[in-house]
Structure 1
Amino acid sequence: MTFSGISQKTKTGPYIENYGAVWEIDNPDFKTDTSQEFKVVFDVKDGPTDDNELNRNLNTVARFLNMHGQSGIPLAQLKVALIVHGTAARNLLTDEGHQKRYKTNNPNRELVEELLKAGVEVIMCGQSSKTRGLPKEELIPGVKIALSAMTANIQFQNQGYRPIKL
């Protein structure tokens, strides 16, 4: 059943199974070109104030992957980078690092691991890492540290990635 061209149930997958639920859009007027490559760099600065809460901005990256996958775009055509800084930086900690600081496991760890498995390049701002005392050894394996979020954003944009600021 649809209402105004939108199905009434969201679903996850095919690229991120437990996160990134999206609506199916029946017969959109603006058609998605499934033959093109989608190069995007997400800039995530804000994290939730509750240390037990999933960062909805990180979940948006999973939504991006899933909505395009559900539309028939192969994962190989989705070039996705995620640059994290500011209060969202703590969302990249291992459970141990998160536990040490906030007395709870990182509710974002599994999502970040799934994004990494799907080929998302996850970059932490080196300035945020130092400012917030979040050393590389306490980050989820696979997360990279850049000189700064600004530097990483410029480099990705110079490679043809389109910025989405969350």
Structure 2
Amino acid sequence: MLKILPVVIALLLLPAQALAEPAPGFHSGPVFTTFGDIAPVESDLAIPEGTVFRVVFNVSAKATPGQLNTTINAAARFINMHVEAGVPISDIHVALVVHGGASSDLLTPAVYAARNGGAANGSAQAISELVDQGVAFWLCGQTATAYQITKADLLPGVGMSLSAMTAFALLQQQGYTLNPF
């Protein structure tokens, strides 16, 4: 434990920008340049011309306060890598169904700070950028009630569904497939 303490302290002292640099082998994407980093791959599974993606992400784990939610980041990665692979962004339809603790990541800055010891919502900017690109965010209404979240507490562009189960069922009827991770 004492051997890793200097490493942990050194990481904490790095400027935030240095921590945000893409991991080795990864680079920023063509749509979202400050999150959703991707790696080039020589894929053996071709994406057929004319492919249209309709993908829904299941978001249940809350991000560490001040950090970007990893599943929200994964949705940006999905878009970035497919646009870079030649799929027109108009053929990529992404939705996120949010429930459980992750509901906190959808809160406005003031509400988030009040519920998280003054911390900033590290997902707010990414959500704004994703919404601007047509990504749909659906909060489970049952979770909202359990966590005492109202529509006024939500970031712009975030919608409320009757439940996560309802959102998944309706999105599947619209041809969305569930991303398995």
Provide TM-score, normalisation by structure 1. 0.90
Aligned to 1:139: 154
> Could you list the per-position Cα deviations for residues 13-70 of structure 1 after superposition, in whole angstroms to 9, with x for gaps in the alignment?
21212110010013x211122421001111111123x322221111000000000011
Give 1:146 deviation, angstroms. Answer: 0.3
Contact preservation (8 Å) 1:44, 1:165: no
Counterpart mapping for 1:21-36 below 5 A: 21-26=37-42, 28-36=43-51
Deviation at 1:160, TM superposition (A): 0.9
Secondary structure at 1:41 match in 2: strand
Greater than 4 Å deviation, 4+ residue runs: none
Letter in 2 for 1:61: A
| Residue in structure 1 matched with residue 12 of structure 2 by the alignment | none
Give 1:98 shift.
Answer: 0.6
* Secondary structure of 1:40's aligned partner: strand
Q: Secondary structure at the match of 2:39?
A: strand
Q: For residue 80 of structure 2, give the secondary structure of its aligned residue in structure 1.
A: helix
Does residue 9 of the first structure (1) align with residue 19 of the second (2)?
Answer: no
Normalised to the residue count of structure 2, the TM-score between the two structures is: 0.83
Q: Which has the higher contact order (CA 8 A, sep 6+)?
A: 1
Pairing 1:58–2:72 present: yes
* Higher strand proportion: 1
Aligned residues of 2:68 and 2:123 also touching (Cα < 8 A): yes
Correspondence 1:93 to 2:107: yes
2:48 and 2:28 map into 1 onto residues whose CA distance is: 21
Partner SS state of residue 23, structure 1? coil
List runs of 5+ in structure 1 lacking aligned partners. 1-7
Q: Is the Cα–Cα contact under 8 Å of residues 104 and 112 in structure 2 kept in the other structure? A: yes
More helix by share: 2
Aligned residues: 157
The structure-2 alpha-carbon separation of the partners of 1:91 and 1:34, relative to structure 1 and needing over 3 Å to count, comes to farther
Query: What is the DSSP-based 3-state SS (H/G/I as helix, E as strand, rest coil) of the residue aligned with 1:36?
Result: coil
Q: Which runs of 5+ in 2 are unaligned?
A: 1-23
Name the structure 2 match of 1:5. none
Aligned to 1:20: 36
Larger Rg: 2
Amino acid at match of 2:163: S
The answer to whether the aligner puts 1:110 opposite 2:137 as a matched pair is no
Query: Counterparts in 2 of 1:48-87, with a 5 A limit?
Result: 48=63, 50-87=64-101
1:162 aligned residue: 177
Secondary structure of the 1:124 match is strand
Q: How far is the alpha carbon of 1:94 from its aligned partner?
A: 1.1
State the superposition RMSD in angstroms: 1.2
SS of residue matched to 1:24: coil
Query: Could you report, residue by residue, the CA deviation over 1:73-100 in whole angstroms, capped at 9, with x for unpaired residues?
Result: 1110001111100111100011111111
SS at 2:134 equivalent: coil
